[in-house]
Chains A and B, each alone.
Chain A
Amino acid sequence: MFKSKVKILQLAITLLACAFLFVPIILSVLAGLTANYFRGISSGLTLKWVFEVWDLYANSIFLSLWLAIACLVCTLIIGLPAAYGLARHPGWLSRLLEEFISLPLAIPGLALALALLQLYGSMKGFRTSWTFILVGHVLYTLPFMVRSILAVLASMDLKTLEEGAASLGASPWQRFRDIVVPNAMPGILAGALTVVTLSIGEFNLTWMLHTPYLKTLPVGLADSYASMRLEIASAYTLVFFILIVPLLMAMQWASARAQRITQ
């Protein structure tokens, strides 16, 4: 009796939480597809707003995709060897370095952006280039890439595997290429999807670092929330959902897979 009552209460809270999270999403999707949201669905469904969003913001969408890819390349170039280095050279210095590069997870993006602006803001060529935003994105996503790979590397007996390869004549570089990278693949994949997902959705740093000519998708969203009619803002949000939700699902799948390997 007591148990079933508790269960009903639990179920109620769970469903209420679902409603709280999901109803606004439905509202947003509907608003983006309704001819006139103020008059309601009866005004008819339309793709007009979505097309209008495309006209207004296609550039920001492409910029975000471009930034995400560039960010992925950078985090791979920096993060993959670094994760290997940290895994092969455990010790207080590595712990400290890992802790240090994880700071952007803890410190609000706004504070990091202010820091970057004050040091590099006066370098006009850099400040107004897309690479300035890229630096922010790499700063924020790098710890995710490093940790994702590090978790997989730490779960296997990397040292012995490498000694095995070395005894067969493989040089450090060949061992990295033939043994480390293939075995770290689940972590690399999970890290890569996380980096792309986070980069496309990054707002806090980007808002401070962007220039009027370089608006990313989330910056454009903020812009449309402030200055466009509700239908356009919603349609733009819908476009964002269409982009981000599959990425999120792929990321969750890859992370779960990498986690299974590390256990």
Chain B
Amino acid sequence: MTNRTFVMACLTPLFIFSILFLALPIVRLFMASGEGDAGWAVYVDILRKPRYLNTLVLTVLVSLATTFAALVVSTTAGMFLVRNRFTGRGTVLSVLTLPLAFPGVVIGFLIILLGGRQGLVNQLTPGHVVFAYSAIGLFLGYLYFSIPRVLLTVMAAAEKLDPSLEEAARTLGASPYRVVIDVIIPGLMPSLVASGAIAFATAMGAFGTAFTLATNIDVIPMVIYTEFTLSANIAMASALSIVLGIITWILLLIARSLSGSTVAGGG
């Protein structure tokens, strides 16, 4: 067997698997989206029918809020952890990256323990404070999911920042505040955009968290789920899946071209 045949043989199982279980199913999903009563106009319906449009808007808003909050919290914590060495730093880092392996359902449950009817906040505060099942709960769940991922990306970038750039800015008379604005933020920008895109994309597509929390509100993944299982509106479920998939795929493509790697997605 020549070298070339051997290399080709090595790629064959992957090729067969991805045709059978990735390419063909996606084609089928796309075909299915046009097989409903509305035909291909199903994609227009997403923007025309208030139920879908409102859901889309809400999903985008919650995802944007999550992205912004995760960036602020994780960048602050990440820079602090990169620049300071103190006892307990390892523990703090472990705590902040622990949720990496938690599926969305578990995170949903943890938010219920915080803000549900039997939750911590409701017990500690007078009156009835339950936020787990609202948009706030969803936001917190997504935030919980995103903090570790953004943190790791930002810390990896911050460790590569050349400290002599900051020192140079200092010798030129820049205040610490100006150093952040002129040196640190621009240096981190690619990884901020990348991790922001990841946070946004995962929030858009998060099913597990929504499944546990979104009993009263609709987000896109929940609508896909209910259209498919309850209304048996397979065309609409497929169309929404395609749209959602394209959005998250493009975002992660941007993220990857900027940072070169992706921290585990899913959720």
Residues of A within 8 A of B (CB): 2-3, 6-7, 9-11, 13-18, 20-25, 27-28, 31, 37-38, 77-79, 81-82, 84-86, 88-89, 97, 100-101, 103-112, 114-116, 118-120, 135, 138-140, 142, 144, 146, 171-173, 176, 194, 197-198, 201-204, 207, 218, 221-222, 225, 230, 233-234, 237, 240, 244-245, 247-248, 251-252
Q: Could you give, for residues 191-231 of chain B, a 1 whenever the CB lies within 8 Å of some chain A CB and a 0 otherwise?
A: 00000000001001111100110000000010011001000
Given the complex, which residues of B lie within 8 Å of A116, measured CB to CB?
21, 25
Determine whether the beta carbon of A112 is less than 8 Å from that of B101.
no
Q: Which 7 A-B pairs have the closest CB atoms?
A: A108-B205, A115-B25, A111-B241, A24-B110, A81-B10, A82-B14, A172-B6
Determine whether the beta carbon of B10 is less than 8 Å from that of A82.
yes
Determine whether the beta carbon of B106 is less than 8 Å from that of A218.
yes
Q: Could you give, for residues 77-113 of chain B, a 1 whenever the CB lies within 8 Å of some chain A CB and a 0 otherwise?
A: 1011100100000001001111111111110111111
A13 to B176, CA, bound (A): 19
Determine whether the beta carbon of B11 is less than 8 Å from that of A82.
yes
A20 to B17, CA, bound (A): 41
Partner of A245, one of B98, B118, B224, B265: B98
Partner of A23, one of B3, B77, B120, B176: B120
Given A23-B114, A97-B11, A244-B101, A114 and B228 touching (CB < 8 A)? yes
Given A106-B245, A118-B28, A139-B21, A201 and B265 touching (CB < 8 A)? no
Given the complex, which residues of A lie within 8 Å of B237, measured CB to CB?
114
Residue of A with least CB distance to B5:
A172
Decide yes or no whether B66 CB sits under 8 A from chain A. no
Decide yes or no whether B44 CB sits under 8 A from chain A. no
Partner of A218, one of B1, B92, B105: B105
Partner of B95, one of A18, A89, A135, A139: A18
Given the complex, which residues of A lie within 8 Å of B251, measured CB to CB?
106
A142 to B144, CA, bound (A): 25
B15, B76, B113: which has the most chain A beta carbons within 10 Å?
B113
Determine whether the beta carbon of B17 is less than 8 Å from that of A78.
yes
Determine whether the beta carbon of A114 is less than 8 Å from that of B224.
yes
Partner of B13, one of A20, A24, A77: A77
Partner of A78, one of B14, B102, B109, B211: B14
Determine whether the beta carbon of B96 is less than 8 Å from that of A108.
no
Given the complex, which residues of A lie within 8 Å of B228, measured CB to CB?
114
Q: With A118-B238, A221-B109 given, can you name 14 additional A-B contacts, CB distance below 8 Å?
A: A17-B147, A24-B144, A105-B266, A110-B224, A111-B245, A112-B25, A119-B28, A142-B14, A172-B6, A203-B208, A222-B208, A222-B212, A234-B113, A251-B101
Given the complex, which residues of B lie within 8 Å of A114, measured CB to CB?
29, 224, 228, 237-238, 241
Q: How far is the CB of B227 from chain A (nearest CB, A)?
A: 10
Interface residues on B, range: 35 or more
Residues of B within 8 A of A (CB): 1-3, 6-11, 13-15, 17-18, 21-26, 28-29, 32, 73-74, 76-77, 79-81, 84, 92, 95-106, 108-114, 118, 120, 140, 143-144, 147-148, 175-177, 201, 204-208, 211-212, 221, 224-225, 228, 234, 237-238, 241-242, 244-245, 248-249, 251-253, 262, 264-267
Some 8 contacts from A to B, beta carbons below 8 A apart, are A18-B95, A20-B147, A106-B248, A111-B245, A116-B25, A142-B14, A237-B106, A245-B101
Given the complex, which residues of A lie within 8 Å of B120, measured CB to CB?
23-24, 27
Determine whether the beta carbon of A108 is less than 8 Å from that of B17.
no
Partner of B252, one of A21, A106, A201: A106
Determine whether the beta carbon of B234 is less than 8 Å from that of A118.
yes
Determine whether the beta carbon of A248 is less than 8 Å from that of B100.
yes
A144, A171, A221: which has the most chain B beta carbons within 10 Å?
A221
